[in-house]
Structures are given as structure tokens and as C-alpha cells.
Amino acid sequence: MSGPRRRSTRRKSGLSRRDFLRRAGSAAAIGALPLLPGCGSSDPRADGGSGNAEFLHGVASGDPLSDRVILWTRVSGVDSSVAVSYELATDPGFANIVRRGQTSTSAARDYTVKVDADGLLPATSYYYRFRAQGQVSPAARTRTAPAGAVERLRVGVVSCSSYAHGYFNAYRKLAQRADIDVVLHLGDYIYEYGTGEYGSARPYEPDHEILTLADYRTRHAYYKREADVQAVHRQHPFITVWDDHETADNSWNGGANNHTEGAEGEWAQRKAWAIQAYHEWMPIRTPDAANPERIYRSFRYGDLAEFTMLDTRLIGRDLQASLVDAGSINDAERQLLGEPQRNFLATTLAATAGVKWKFLGQQVMFGQLRVGLPELSLLTNIPVEQLQSLLQGLPLVSTGGLVINTDQWDGYRAERQRVLDLISGLGLDNVVVLTGDIHSSWAMDISHDPNNPLVYNPLSGEGSRAVEFVCTSVTSPGLEPLNPLAPALRLLNPHMKYVDTARKGYLLLDIVPERVTGEFWYVDTIDAVSEDESFGTAFATQDGSNRLSSAGQTEPVAGAPALVA
């Protein structure tokens, strides 16, 4: 859902993802940044004594491994290099401190601090805080990944938090859950628009569209001062990937729908600045300091789960195809992941023989989505008869449905087939795709051809090779007018088991060896701060089934480590 923008004359695609949603919803610099390993002075006052330092942007943790985790903060109120120390304890009162260390930060990295605290125990909750110039940060909680045999995991999944569209109550409710092992953020953590350009519930800083390194830093800083953003980061470690709005709407490797080359500078420079700010301001362990554009990486959670986080947005994506360009949509050479990332995915999946569940965290809908002319008429306010004449060149499927979003995997059909062939070729079961981006909730089976009854049986699920959960947005507007037509969408898309195009919230995964359950949780409003949420529905995939079925709500983990006050 883009705001009004000048569009580059190079872009000639039809109904883009954001246009579609809007109608429905009325590298060297990174390598030089210091990253402190988990060692150093044991003196908790080795931080420069008293001064004007403040921790206005909270604290955060991320990218947990079985023996280490990234700790993050930002020091305000200083104008030169400043020493920063940290400490970890096994209790929220810091009576049992098990790790201390020291680093420094400066204007070169916008006074952000990132520590790779190592020497930790697997599957253990820790409490941490920072000190600078005698000032102490808020305390926070994190948790390492498990190793070996694992009985159960609880994982939060979120995406698409548009500040201008309302309040982050989904973050607030996740922060109150003590039994979450990790939160996966699938992108659109920030948005690039200026105040009033896309949503008007809350203003932005800066108030204009962000273009420069200073702009991107300021926008990240603005988000990190938001109360519910700080709350959820204080309670849980995050594993994040970017989508498009961390740079610009509908971005690809060589440009973006919301970038005008020349008038808004060079895309390569804008992208590099956005990436630099992301690595500075997010609790991420940079996978390759020599190539900061690479964000794809993987996390092993014992023998129960592997979370492979992919980039379907920047590093390998070709320009989105026009809706009427069936030749490009079907082009066998079109890339979404790119060969290096695809090779990484193949190597990672091939090494998961001893892991029960294989999760692919990524940005855009993987499964096929078709919309009929009546539904498209409702979305666009164009009569069906006029649509029939306008859309004669669109690629139709046998059901009469239309491919209406070439920004997602539907626009990169050969790349999707390569991934499906990889899963089949490795003989993998228990692959679960996790998706954000589209600001709505979906649960579906993944088949090579779900509309072909010889390939996929919608009644039994036979022919499904994987499953997909699409989490709704935290605030960003979705396809609200389409929600009454969800049953029609499911008829056109027989592999889809659940569709909700209106409500906001988060996805909760309950993972045990026998099954994965995805629960859709919704907040009651985004127009004001609220404590209310409700359980929507749940679907589960059983070990070895590769298909979804309706499920009930799971029970919280008893005796979860205490939340930090």
C-alpha cells in the first residue's frame, strides 16, 4: 500500500503488490564496525565513569546460537567515542552474573553497540544490561538456542509494522508471553514513507521519505523509541530479515517501485545506506562483513528445528514482471533467490537429515494465488465486463483465476519450481514455509500444481510437498474489502485452508516432534493502545504428512523463565 509517488519510467509492470493492496485498503563500512566477542574486563565500572550517556532506544538481542547471542543497544547524549560494558546473569536481579565484557562505540556506527556474547549454555535464559559513563540501561531477557534432543519450542512470527497505521499491540502481547523461545521478524520492520504518505495515525521522524544514511538511521531510531518495540525486544531474542520497506517499496536488486533514479539519488547508494543502517540498528550477526547485502543465514535448534532465513527481496531478485507479460512470468531464467543463495539453501537443506522440522523464513507468498474476476472487480471498483476487456492478456489458469501479484513467487514461477524440485530431490518431509509481506493471514498446502486434481487432492492433501503459514501484519493495512469473499478465494485456490484478509496480530508456532501448530492471534484494534487479543484459529501439520489440517489451541509452557520487569 504505497503512498502517492513519482514512478520511474523504467517500471512498466501492471498491478503491483502495493497498488493491489492500496486499492483494497483505501559493504566496506559494515566490515569496519566493531563487534565485541563475549570477553573483556570484569570490572563493571570500566565504562568511563559518570557522564551524560543515556539509553533512550532500549536494548535488544538476536541471532541466538547454542553458545552465544547478539546483544544490542544505543548510547545517546555523547558526541565522541564512549566505552560501554555489559553483563549477563542467570536471574533478573543480577545476583548471579556469569559474563562481563567491554567495547566502545562512536559516530562511525551511530553510537549503536553490538556484542556477540559467547561462552553461554544452550537452551538457557539470560538477563543482560549495559553501562556507559556510570549510566545503566534497562535490563532485558534473552535465550540461547538448544542443542541435542529438544522436546518443544514456542516461536512468535511477525511482519509489517507501519508506524503510520497505528499502535503495535501485537508486539505488546508477544512481550507478555514468557514461554517464547525466539521471535522471527519477516521484514518491513520499518517503512520509508514520509508523514501522511502512507497512513496517518502517527507521524514519522524524519517527516519526509527517507533517502540518505542519516534518514535511515533516524527512522530506525524513531522505531526503537516506541514503547512496544522496546518491550518485545526486552523480553525475547529476534531473528530478522528485511523485506522491501527497509529500503523502498517493491525493491529488487537493481531498483525499486518507490525510487526515482536521479531525482532521489542513485539506487545503489540508497540501498547501501539502508543496509548499513539496518546492520547498525538491528540485533543481527552480519553473515558476511565483506558483503553486507547478504542476509540469508540459518539457525539450528537442536534436533527439532532448522530456521533458514532467506532474502527474496534484494540480493537475487530480478525486476518484477508486468501482469500482462506472460513471457517473463514463465521465463525459466528469472531469479528471485539468485544462484549463490539457492546453493546455500540446497547445502543447508541437505544437512538437515537429523532435524525434524525445516522452516524457511522469507518475505513473499510462496504458494500459488489466483483471484477471479468478481473478486478483482471488488478490489478495483472496475465492472467485471470492463475487466474482461482490459485483462485479456493476463495469464489465466484452468479455473478462470488470475495471477494478480507478480511481486510474490507467482511472478517467479521457474524459481519456485527449482525450490520444489530441490525439496523433492532431497526427499525432504516436514518443510514449513513462513511468510509475511501481504498484511493478511493464510494457511495452505504447497503443491507443484494445486489446481490440477491429478497432482493435488484438496480433500486428502495428497500431492502436497510442504506447508505455508502467512502471518498477518502488526499494523499495515491488508485486503479488508476482500474478507467477505474469503470462501470464494478458497474455492479458486483449493490448497488454501484458511484466509483472513483483515485482522492484525501475529502467528504463534508450537513445535514438537509429532507436529507443528500455527496459531493465528489477533489484536482487537490498532487505533489505540490495547491489552485485548483473541485466538483466531489454528492449523497443524503432522510429522511426515506435508499437509495442513484444522487444529486446536495449544497450552502455554509451564514454568517458563521469568519475564524481566
DSSP for 355-368, please give it.
-SEEEEE-SS--S-
- pLDDT value, residue 324: 72
Q: From CA 199, how far away is CA 194, in angstroms rounded?
A: 9
pLDDT of residue 110: 98
Burial environment of residue 94 by CB neighbours within 10 A (0 to 12, 13 to 18, 19 or more): middle
Under the banding of pLDDT at 50, 70 and 90, the label for residue 376 is low
Check whether 41 has a pLDDT greater than 70: no
Nine cell digits for residue 25: 485498503
Confidence at 486, pLDDT banded by 50, 70, 90: confident
Q: What is the pLDDT of residue 379?
A: 63
Do the beta carbons of residue 129 and residue 89 sit within 8 Å?
Answer: no
DSSP state for residue 409 in the 8-state scheme: G
**Contact (Cβ atoms closer than 8 angstroms) between residue 160 and residue 187:** yes
Nearest by Cα to 434 from 464, 472, 460: 472
**Model pLDDT for residues 303-343, shown as the tens digit of each residue:** 999 999 999 999 999 999 987 787 888 899 999 999 999 99
| Lookup: cell for 57 | 532506544
Q: Which residue has the cell 541471532?
A: 63
All 3 cell numbers of residue 284?
543481527
**Per-residue CA distances from 548 to 334, 458, 496 (Å):** 30, 10, 9
Q: Place 99 in a pLDDT band, splitting at 50, 70 and 90.
A: very high
Q: Of 236, 355, 360, 357, which is closest to residue 302 (Cα–Cα)?
A: 355
The partner residues of 143 in beta bridges, in order of sequence, read: 125
Provide the grid cell at 17.
503488490
Q: How confident is the model at residue 45 (pLDDT cuts 50, 70, 90)?
A: very low
182, 413, 562 from 463: Cα distances, Å: 32, 18, 44
Domains of the chain (ranges plus CATH)?
A: 17-26+160-551 (3.60.21.70), 33-141 (2.60.40.380)
Comparison of pLDDT for 424 and 485, the residue scoring more: 424
Report, as an integer, the average pLDDT of 71-78: 98
Alpha helices in 188-313 (DSSP H): 213-224, 227-235, 267-281
Question: Left if phi > 0, otherwise alpha if psi is -120 to 50, otherwise beta: which for 377?
Answer: alpha
Q: Which residue has the higher pLDDT, 385 or 494?
A: 494
**316 Cα distance to chain centroid:** 17
Q: What is the pLDDT of residues 274-309, one digit of tens each?
A: 999 999 999 999 999 999 999 999 999 999 999 999
CA dist., res. 465 & res. 445, Å (int): 8
- Cell triple for 356: 525434524
Contacts of 409 (CB under 8 A, 6+ apart): 312, 336, 364, 365, 366, 367, 415, 416
What are the pLDDT digits (tens) for 104-138?
999 999 999 999 999 999 999 999 999 999 999 99
> Is the model's pLDDT at 2 over the cut of 60?
no
Res. 257 pLDDT band, cuts 50 70 90: very high
Whether 13 shows a pLDDT value over 70: the answer reads: no
CA gap 157, 433 in Å, rounded = 12
Q: Lowest-pLDDT range, 25-34, 195-204, 536-545?
A: 25-34
The mean pLDDT of 362-381, rounded to a whole number, is 81
**How far lies 251's CA from each of 239, 291, 302, 366, 483, in Å?**
21, 18, 35, 18, 27
Report the alpha-carbon distance of residue 448 to residue 420 in Å, rounded: 7
Residue 327 pLDDT: 83
